[in-house]
Amino acid sequence: MSEGQTVAGPESARSAGDRPMLGIAFMALGVSLVPLMDGIAKGLADDYPVFQLVWARFAFHLLWLLPFLLWHGHGRSVLSPRHPGLQLLRGFLLMAATLCYFSAIALMPIADALALLFISPMVVTLLSPVVLGERVGIWRWSAVVAGFIGALIVVRPGFGVFQWASVLALGAGVMHGCYLITTRRLAGSTNPMLTLFYTGAIGLLAMSVAMPALWVPPSAADWGWMAIMGAFAAGGHFLIIKGFDQAPAPVVAPVAYAEIVAATAVGYFAFGDFPAAWTWVGIVVIIASGLVISIREHRTRPR
């Protein structure tokens, strides 16, 4: 599950470079790595509890991230976070979203679950007037309705193909949307890499509480796969951040939807899953509505 939108706030917009092709390349590579993490989680879900996989995702993510933070002199800043309440809330929201999403992909194709996760921009639009005080016009409201219709096409309740795993994927999308709202509240006040560290640390600590009751000793090979899963998480999200560093957010943010291509490839080659025709229709509707929201938000945001 990608955190690609976590740095698309005002701070990133101000500091973004003017190298659009490099920014797009970083973003495309980043969102291509994240489904590899999802594929490993899905493959391990037959042998390990989802809680343990989420714990491993955050634990190894942090292990790969820590040397980078220390090398760049962020060690002291880690000990004194700004806005600790918002950081705590943000970390719990991403943990909940990851838990729902890993539970969903254990039971359904990765691409189908990811399509439902992409309702998060609609959740942001729904909550923005209340939480952020933003005005939402008719175009963005129309895109929200279209995105909801797209989600219904993917889920198709009442047509004999509904899976309860879809509810978990939708829950992940709602939690991820709330996580993005919280990220916006933090934008411009905290270094994105430090925010990424706090998010991982909070998820790791919360998941560690459940580990004594659920722990299944991994084999040496599976420890390796868990370490690789964390490397894909840290590497993918680092590349996404670099993408926003190289070009303005409106240029690189839509590239995040390329993740559905990588997720489809992982699902097909690793598990023999390929989205049905109606699922593709729903995916197109959800992506189109998300792009409309992104474009309208860019046009209405103060320069």
pLDDT tens for the 303 residues of the chain, in order:
665 444 344 444 444 457 788 888 998 898 899 999 999 999 999 999 999 999 999 999 999 888 877 776 655 555 566 778 888 898 899 999 999 999 999 988 898 888 888 888 788 878 878 776 767 778 778 878 888 888 878 776 544 444 778 889 999 999 988 988 887 777 666 676 777 788 888 999 999 999 999 999 999 999 999 999 999 988 888 888 788 778 776 677 777 888 888 999 999 999 999 888 888 888 888 888 877 777 666 565 554
Question: For residues 289 and 144, is the Cβ–Cβ distance under 8 A?
Answer: yes
pLDDT at 100: 95
Q: What pLDDT sits at residue 286?
A: 83
pLDDT of 73? 61
pLDDT, residue 16, reads 47
CA–CA dist 292, 151 (Å, integer): 16
Q: HSE (CB half, 13 Å, CA atoms) of 111?
A: 27
CB 230 within 8 A of CB 64: yes
* Predicted pLDDT at 188: 62
Does residue 283 contact residue 260 with C-beta atoms inside 8 Å? yes
CB atoms within 10 A of CB 94: 26
**pLDDT value for 75:** 57
Q: How many CB atoms are closer than 10 A to CB 17?
A: 12
- With a CB cutoff of 8 Å and minimum separation 6, the contacts of 104 are 113, 116, 165, 166, 168, 169, 172
Distance linking the first and last C-alpha atoms of the chain: 30
Q: How many CB atoms lie within 10 A of CB 70?
A: 11
Residues 2/260, Cβ–Cβ less than 8 Å: no
- Please report the pLDDT score of residue 229 as a whole number: 96
* pLDDT at res. 236: 86
C-alpha to C-alpha distance for 236 and 224, rounded to whole angstroms: 18
Residue 187: CB atoms within 10 Å: 17
Q: Report the distance separating Cα 4 and Cα 10, nearest Å.
A: 15
In this prediction the pTM is 0.83
Helices (H), the chain: 10-15, 20-44, 50-71, 75-78, 84-105, 110-117, 120-131, 138-155, 164-186, 192-208, 211-214, 220-246, 249-252, 259-271, 277-300
